[in-house]
């Protein structure tokens, strides 16, 4: 049984992947740990030089030095000292081949893929013999661990730190809503948009026409003008609510529907019953579609 399953080398300042071992095992927990490696790698600047994230069967160990961090996914039966000894050997091998200037100038992910062969040899050595060839190295690591034990990292804290680092934590509801995606627009949705635009156009045309008559005769019809334009604004907002996610969608949609109904009832003398029914039905259809259009579920990116 392999005790060291995966190794990962990243740049600390931005979590840029530099190299990784070839993955030959595909169990579910390993894939989860690999996904967590990405989260951890983006938060390394906030953690001490070495730490551990414990899992059910697999643990993550990492150590950082000179702007580069070395991470591994190991079986829980592997002693902690040997896990960090592996990381120390990995660090020596990496720094012997790549200097800090080359690492700092790296601009694309995995620029040192050729280092994979070195990682594989080191993994094979540890998995076959159960530890390093030099017991002196193991003894030094054990002594360091006694003096300065690795910090046990809580994964929830890692994800929170990563969110704050990338500007996604503690967002206001309005800001969070802007980052949500709704389900695709349906044919009934397109129909409701067209009908809503038609109702909005009829309201603004009638309102403008009534303004001319009101200014020429008297100002008694100014409330009718206001009702037409208020209904126009509500139709426009119904289109916006359907197309874009908004907080308190239910409250806003019902409020718009009630205002449209009241405006049309007020304008009953200027509209016949069929026109009133048409406007109310279109507003009701729009409200129903606004409330039934759900947020789109996004799948997590689980690759490393």
For residue 205, tell me if it sits in a domain: yes
| 163 shares a domain with 249 | no
For residue 153, tell me if it sits in a domain: yes
For residue 177, tell me if it sits in a domain: no
For residue 21, what are its two tokens? 């071992």
| 154 shares a domain with 12 | yes
- Taking alpha carbons only, the member of 159, 213, 183, 194 closest to residue 37 is 159
Q: Is 69 helix (H, G, I), strand (E, B) or coil?
A: strand
Residue 258 has pLDDT above 90, yes or no: yes
Range of the domain at 10: 4-170
- Taking alpha carbons only, the member of 90, 54, 91, 51 closest to residue 75 is 54
Q: What is the CATH number of the domain that holds 133?
A: 3.30.450.50
For residue 304, tell me if it sits in a domain: no
Higher per-residue pLDDT: 212 or 211: 211
| 142 shares a domain with 34 | yes
Domain count, the chain: 2
For residue 178, tell me if it sits in a domain: no
Residue 300 has pLDDT above 50, yes or no: no
CA atoms within 13 A on the CB side of 67: 14
Confidence of residue 132 (pLDDT cuts 50, 70, 90): low
| 166 shares a domain with 31 | yes
| 202 shares a domain with 125 | no
Backbone angles phi, psi at 130, to 5 degrees: 80, 5
| 224 shares a domain with 157 | no
| 253 shares a domain with 199 | yes
| 274 shares a domain with 197 | yes
Task: Provide CB contacts within 8 A for 145, sequence distance 6+.
Answer: 80, 81, 84
Q: What is the mean pLDDT of residues 33-55?
A: 85
For residue 298, tell me if it sits in a domain: no
pLDDT for 301: 40
Q: pLDDT per residue over 219-255, tens digit each?
A: 567 888 888 899 999 999 999 888 887 888 889 999 9
Confidence of residue 259 (pLDDT cuts 50, 70, 90): very high
| 121 shares a domain with 75 | yes
Q: pLDDT per residue over 272-294, tens digit each?
A: 888 889 999 999 999 999 888 87
Which of 143, 170, 197 terminates a domain? The answer is 170
Prediction pTM value: 0.52
| 165 shares a domain with 232 | no
- How far apart are alpha carbons 197 and 263 in whole angstroms? 17
Confidence of residue 165 (pLDDT cuts 50, 70, 90): very low
Q: What is the mean pLDDT of residues 93-99?
A: 91
pLDDT for 206: 85
| 23 shares a domain with 116 | yes
Q: What is the mean pLDDT of residues 170-187?
A: 58
Q: What is the mean pLDDT of residues 47-53?
A: 86
Residue 160 has pLDDT above 70, yes or no: no
What is the share, in percent, of the chain residues with pLDDT greater than 90?
A: 22
| 41 shares a domain with 108 | yes
For residue 61, tell me if it sits in a domain: yes
């Amino acid at each position: 049984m392999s005790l060291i399953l995966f190794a990962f080398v990243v740049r600390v300042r931005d979590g840029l992947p530099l190299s990784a071992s070839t993955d030959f095992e595909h169990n579910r927990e390993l894939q989860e740990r690999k996904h967590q490696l990405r989260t951890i790698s983006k938060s390394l600047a906030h953690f001490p030089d070495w730490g551990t994230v414990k899992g059910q069967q697999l643990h993550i160990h990492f150590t950082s030095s000179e702007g580069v961090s070395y991470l591994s996914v190991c079986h829980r039966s592997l002693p902690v000292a040997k896990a960090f000894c592996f990381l120390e050997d990995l660090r020596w091998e990496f720094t012997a081949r790549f200097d800090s200037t080359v690492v700092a100038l790296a601009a694309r992910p995995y620029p040192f893929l050729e280092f994979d062969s070195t990682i594989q040899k080191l993994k094979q050595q540890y998995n076959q013999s159960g530890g390093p060839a030099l017991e002196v190295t193991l003894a030094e690591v054990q002594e360091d661990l006694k003096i300065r034990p690795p910090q046990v990292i809580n994964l929830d804290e890692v994800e929170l730190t990563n969110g704050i680092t990338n500007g996604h934590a503690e967002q206001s509801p309005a800001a969070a809503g802007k980052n949500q995606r709704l389900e695709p627009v349906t044919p009934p949705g397109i129909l409701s948009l067209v009908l809503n635009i038609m109702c909005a156009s009829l309201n603004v045309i009638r309102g403008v026409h009534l303004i001319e008559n009101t200014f020429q005769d008297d100002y008694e019809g100014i409330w009718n003008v206001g009702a037409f334009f208020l209904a126009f604004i509500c139709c426009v907002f119904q289109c916006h609510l359907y197309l874009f996610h908004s907080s308190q969608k239910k409250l806003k949609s019902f409020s718009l529907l009630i205002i449209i109904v009241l405006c049309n009832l007020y304008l009953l003398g200027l509209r016949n019953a069929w026109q009133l029914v048409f406007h109310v039905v279109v507003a009701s259809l729009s409200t129903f579609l606004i409330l039934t259009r759900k947020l789109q579920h996004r799948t997590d990116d689980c690759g490393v």
